[in-house]
Structure 1
Amino acid sequence: MKAINKLKYIGIALLGFMLQSCEKDMEELASQNPNSPESLKSEWFLTSAEKEFMDNMWDEWINARTGMFYAQYWSATAYTEESRYRIRESVNRTFWRAFYSSLIDLEEAKSLAQQEEGTQNKIAIANIMKAWAFHVMSDQYGALPLMDALNPDILSPSYDSQEAVYDEILAMLEMAVNNLDETGESYGSGDLIYGGDPTMWKKFANSLRLRVALRMADVNDAKASAVFTAVANDPSNIMGSNSDNALFPYQTANPNNNPINENAKTRTDFAVSETMVSYMDSLNDPRLAIYARPAVNTGTYIGLEYGLSNAQATAIPNDDVSLPGEAVEAANAPGIYMLYSEVCFMMAEAHARGWGVTGSGPQWFEDGIRSSMEFWGVSDQAAIDSYVMEQGFNDGDWKNVIGTQKWLALYMQGLQGWYEFTRLDFKKVTGEDLIMLPAAGSMDPELSGIFPQRMTYPDEEYTLNEANVLGAGAELSSGDSKASKLWWDVF
């Protein structure tokens, strides 16, 4: 493993102290100098990776201006270029760098764990995070450097096909689950997601296996169904309630508050899209009052049309439209790795595909809606019951029925909402389009009349790793373009 420079070691140590100080005796901390730590701990690198992954995926750039726009949860109140599919290459570059940097932290955590108690569980947990990260990256770009990526002796890592990346992710997750010892030593407070609990990590890892399997269902049904059913037929293997959610616990003050909160302190860049507001309003969805604020000037929920020009957007006063809800912009709003509601909708889809998993499709569908309501704090049980009764499960139209409700439940998980739309191409259950093309048109000439299917590779890959990135681009249907479909997207 490539040595990390001294400044990064110091930064990791400081982060470990800051985020874990509430769990430690202050006298012990006072006796240690984080600027010259006597020994590094694997949990500090896990802490760093968990926070850096979420900070970079949840910020105003990747989450808001990419995921939340492409999934059409939000619209831009100004600077509308991203909502019209023109990216800022510096943002794309930063996302790529940040994820690979955090992957290096995980490798260092694994290396240090070899010298500590709880080695087996610590390595398994780091590998689950590694699999999660590669899955996000692969669904963002397609083929990736994976096998060679973290080898310091390889300066120009080759790209593995997305199919190969998926195979490796599934193998990593299966091995990690098999290696988790639910009675053994593990991480403690340094694991900010589950406190090192092997049982919880097993449920998260297995639920991720369901997500990976389902994404590849249309291109390899036999393998997808085999992986899915092997995991899902024992419900104790997977998330079973909102208490199992994989969340990052943001705090109330900078630099540990939710990145969306930090942006909202000084700027009003985002309004809830007309797409979402009008659809939720038509369904009498009680989550609307949580997802959005009423427009100041009318006291009603008014979405902002998606993909306006800068001139059109800035001509609309912010007080005339619904801004994101207080709960989603709260300083301590958690970052989401995965929710139980997604597991429920995946189980419902498996039933619709005829995979023969436990339970019933309609019940899993209902459980997905109810668990989403619970997570977002909807307390009116009568409103929930009424809503559930109106959302009938229909095997014959499952892509639209499950797709739209899953999209609503994935709110704030912008990237996942976008990936699910490109996979299912869902519409309203009435057959009308839900996701709309930008009102002012695309600013990417390769996306005329179509939605983004992926992100292009960062520009610096063409400087640092030209031969390999050119080879990866050549394998795509339209080259290295946002119009090229991912491996698993065959419809």
Structure 2
Amino acid sequence: MKIDHIKQGISKMAFGLGTAAVLLLSSCDKGFEEMNRNPNAFTEPVIGNLFSAAIIRTAGVGDGNTLYPNSKQAGCFVQYFASLNPWQWTGDKYLYKPDYNNGLWNTAYRTELKEPVQILELTADDPEQSNLHNIARIWRVFILHRVTDMYGDIPYFEAGLGYINGTYKPKYDNQEAVYADMLKELEESAAALDPAKPSYGAADFLYGGDVEQWRVFANSLILRLGMRMTKVDPAAAESWVKKAIAAGVMQSNADIARLEHTSGSGTNWNWNSRQLQTAEGVPPSAQGKGFSKLNKTFIDYLKSTNDPRLPFYATLWQGNIDITKLPAESLPEKQKGLPGGYDYTSIQDLIPGWTDNMQQEYSEINIHTIAHLEAPTIFQSYAEVEYLLAEAALRGWGPGTAQEHYEAGVRAAFQAQELYPNAMDANQALVAANGYLADNPYTPGSFDSEMKQIHTQFWASLFMNNIEVYANWRRTGYPNLIPTDYPGNETGGKIQRRLMYPDTEISLNTENYNAAIQHQGPDLFMTRIWWDKE
């Protein structure tokens, strides 16, 4: 992806967002209007630039955005991260902090949906723009499926219409209806894509306008959402999973839905990575004492399986060692995860004699590989698809064997490292993956034992796609995680099942908020959403 394309998308998208304001001037004096018209200005939205901006916004731009729900919330719930700071990384302790709890909701409704809903409006009645319209439908589903998976019942059918027709108090839709429509939208839009018609071309930072790859992505999302329903509606889950497989899902890492980044300008940094990096200007005495560390649960598992991905995921504070040597210097035997659920005081009860300097002994995310500024944003990976196909085979819903798909998933996850800076290339990764599978062979057995193997590996492989891992953990129960019980937590010492609605919904959309909690249950962390039934 070229950085100048992104800059164009950001600079030009302002016109599209201002269209509504232009319409308000229609009653002005025509002569005044002509006198004040800029002959060099855009006279209609540039749809390609709107779509470019939509992808960038969804990946995250600037402080906050998807960092809060993806890392400080979901990443802590599934025990990737731990922190001694009780005011940040509150997901480690099941504490409520409005900015973190509200981050995904506010970003999706206030930012991510702006361009897709405008594109849908502009292209709705133009058959020649059907590909642009249907790809925008797919992207709208991607945005909103993360929101409903984190909160439950949400504004869906009226979502984003405030930008089009002034619907500023959208009603909430129950998650069952949301899922039914998302799956319908994906199926219909995938079927409607036409290679003979125009697409987004270079403005499409995921697939370069390749409609066949968008079709594969849509089918792979159907597989993801269909499998999500196994606890609550297994018949529907089976039907949608079979449809997805028959229509064609991802077949290799070339199909990964990803946004590439560059480090030359903040315009195109991976902002999730940026927020995990040590702030500029931090003195050497404070380095290695960042608020986030990798969780003992995660590090211990990687070490117990002798996982070659450990130095790709984790590093230790290395002083002034040349950063290009960091992955090699992060020796696996020295890696050590921080226990979750402790603060600067209570950690002394677990580790007598604790001092602040001891934080440097604990593993951090590797900012030179998986959390590099140029690390891609992965929206859906081929490895994820293979693990879901393994489960489908286990259930008798798809071809092949669970073991075949499991092993393909492991190889795909290892080989995806070639997309990141300072990591193994595909050939090195394949050798490492085959060695890992030899040391940790898939063992056929009971349904539960095979589900445990598949979805524990799902967790080990999809680090940094934390929102999806959290959803998959709630559905499957794997890996087996032991919750923490930090004093004053909101869940009674259990891993929370959802996020709460923002306070602004209570005050500004009161009637619809009340209807939602009457249907779904109390607006609490432990209230289970529709597909997450016990």
**Inter-CA distance 363–454: structure 2 relative to 1 (3 Å threshold):** same
Equivalent in 60, 66, 79 of residue 67 of structure 2: 60
Are residue 339 (structure 1) and residue 339 (structure 2) matched?
Answer: no
**Inter-CA distance 141–185: structure 2 relative to 1 (3 Å threshold):** same
TM-score (norm 2): 0.80
SS in 1 for 2:267: coil
Superposition deviation, residue 260 in structure 1:
3.0
Are residue 410 (structure 1) and residue 453 (structure 2) matched?
Answer: no
How far does the alpha carbon of each residue in 1:198-254 deviate from its partner, in whole angstroms, 9 at most, with x for none?
Answer: 0110010000000000000121111111111122035xx211100100001122121
- The answer to whether the Cα contact below 8 Å between 2:83 and 2:343 also exists between their aligned partners in 1 is no
Structure of larger gyration radius: 2
Superposition deviation, residue 110 in structure 1:
2.4
- The answer to whether the Cα contact below 8 Å between 1:55 and 1:259 also exists between their aligned partners in 2 is yes
**Inter-CA distance 381–154: structure 2 relative to 1 (3 Å threshold):** closer
For 1:41, the equivalent position in structure 2 comes to: 46
| CA distance, structure 2, for counterparts of residue 385 and residue 94 of structure 1 | 40
Once the two structures are superposed, the pairs formed by residues 359-398 of structure 1 within 5 Å of their partners are 359-377=400-418, 378=424, 379=428, 381-389=430-438, 390-396=440-446, 397-398=449-450
SS in 2 for 1:460: helix
Once the two structures are superposed, the pairs formed by residues 66-81 of structure 1 within 5 Å of their partners are 66-78=73-85, 79-81=88-90
- The answer to whether the Cα contact below 8 Å between 1:474 and 1:480 also exists between their aligned partners in 2 is no
| CA distance, structure 2, for counterparts of residue 153 and residue 52 of structure 1 | 22
| CA distance, structure 1, for counterparts of residue 375 and residue 12 of structure 2 | 20
How far does the alpha carbon of each residue in 1:133-187 deviate from its partner, in whole angstroms, 9 at most, with x for none?
Answer: 1111110100111112233343322111100000010011011011101232100
Superposition deviation, residue 80 in structure 1:
4.8
For 1:444, the equivalent position in structure 2 comes to: 489
| CA distance, structure 1, for counterparts of residue 138 and residue 468 of structure 2 | 18
- The answer to whether the Cα contact below 8 Å between 1:67 and 1:413 also exists between their aligned partners in 2 is no
SS in 1 for 2:514: helix
Identity %: 26
For 2:23, the equivalent position in structure 1 comes to: none
How far does the alpha carbon of each residue in 1:293-322 deviate from its partner, in whole angstroms, 9 at most, with x for none?
Answer: 145499511111112114356835332111
- The answer to whether the Cα contact below 8 Å between 2:153 and 2:173 also exists between their aligned partners in 1 is yes
Letter of the aligned partner of 2:489 in structure 1? D
Letter of the aligned partner of 2:222 in structure 1? R
For 2:3, the equivalent position in structure 1 comes to: none
Are residue 457 (structure 1) and residue 501 (structure 2) matched?
Answer: yes
| CA distance, structure 2, for counterparts of residue 406 and residue 196 of structure 1 | 29
Superposition deviation, residue 354 in structure 1:
2.2
Once the two structures are superposed, the pairs formed by residues 10-409 of structure 1 within 5 Å of their partners are 14=11, 36-55=41-60, 59-78=66-85, 79-101=88-110, 102-113=112-123, 118-151=128-161, 152-234=165-247, 237-252=248-263, 253-263=265-275, 264-266=277-279, 268-294=290-316, 296=318, 300-312=334-346, 315=356, 317-325=358-366, 326-355=368-397, 357-377=398-418, 378=424, 379=428, 381-389=430-438, 390-396=440-446, 397-409=449-461
Superposition deviation, residue 39 in structure 1:
3.2
For 2:519, the equivalent position in structure 1 comes to: 475
Superposition deviation, residue 371 in structure 1:
0.3
**Inter-CA distance 155–403: structure 2 relative to 1 (3 Å threshold):** same
For 1:4, the equivalent position in structure 2 comes to: none
The range that moved more, 369-378 or 239-248, is 369-378
Superposition deviation, residue 112 in structure 1:
3.2
RMSD of aligned Cα (Å): 2.6
| CA distance, structure 1, for counterparts of residue 91 and residue 224 of structure 2 | 27
| CA distance, structure 2, for counterparts of residue 34 and residue 443 of structure 1 | 61
- The answer to whether the Cα contact below 8 Å between 1:117 and 1:185 also exists between their aligned partners in 2 is no
| CA distance, structure 2, for counterparts of residue 58 and residue 226 of structure 1 | 35
The range that moved more, 398-407 or 315-324, is 315-324
Letter of the aligned partner of 2:48 in structure 1? E
Letter of the aligned partner of 2:100 in structure 1? V
SS in 2 for 1:329: coil
For 1:488, the equivalent position in structure 2 comes to: 531
**Inter-CA distance 15–60: structure 2 relative to 1 (3 Å threshold):** farther
Aligned residues: 455
5+ residue gaps, structure 2, are: 1-6, 15-37, 283-289, 320-329, 348-354, 419-423
How far does the alpha carbon of each residue in 1:356-391 deviate from its partner, in whole angstroms, 9 at most, with x for none?
Answer: x12221100100111001012442544322211323
| CA distance, structure 2, for counterparts of residue 15 and residue 281 of structure 1 | 48
Letter of the aligned partner of 2:73 in structure 1? T
5+ residue gaps, structure 1, are: 1-9, 18-32, 428-432
**Inter-CA distance 130–344: structure 2 relative to 1 (3 Å threshold):** same
| CA distance, structure 1, for counterparts of residue 8 and residue 211 of structure 2 | 27
